Amino acid sequence: MTTWPDTLPASPLLENFQEISPQTAIRTDMDTGPAKVRQRTTAGTGALMVSYLLTIAETIALDAFYQTTLSGGATAFDYTHPRTGATLSCRFTDPPEYAPVNGNYFKATLTLEVLP
């Protein structure tokens, strides 16, 4: 499987890191009393929102990784979880977003789907 490129930073910025665990239960509200909850599936998808401080050359490398290597985000890749260090199988849910920091650096924001 494809892996996160060595030409890009391995660790995201901590200030923008967000993680959503997989939702595997279904909740049904009742007319009276507590809601009923049951497990719907044993494997679900989670999400990671990460940001990186990148040079112009690194933004070009990220674009090439997303567009060419991952076929516009359609293909999964191995990614190291920023909190646990575990290797995850991930897919982009949206294209990378860039915001200028100064003339030489851009903040890239990525939303990744964590596959079971």
pLDDT in tens, 15-71: 889 988 877 778 889 999 898 888 777 778 899 999 999 999 999 999 999 999 999
pLDDT tens by residue, 69-114: 999 999 999 999 999 999 999 999 999 999 999 989 999 999 999 9
Among residues of the chain, what percentage have pLDDT more than 90?
72
Q: Is residue 13 part of a domain?
A: no
Cβ atoms of 105 and 55 within 8 Å: the answer is yes
Cα 27 to its chain centre, rounded Å, is: 26
Q: Is residue 19 part of a domain?
A: no
The pTM is what? 0.82
The domain tally of the chain equals: 1
Between CA 108 and CA 113 the distance in angstroms is 16
The letter for the amino acid at 88 is: L
Q: Is residue 30 part of a domain?
A: no
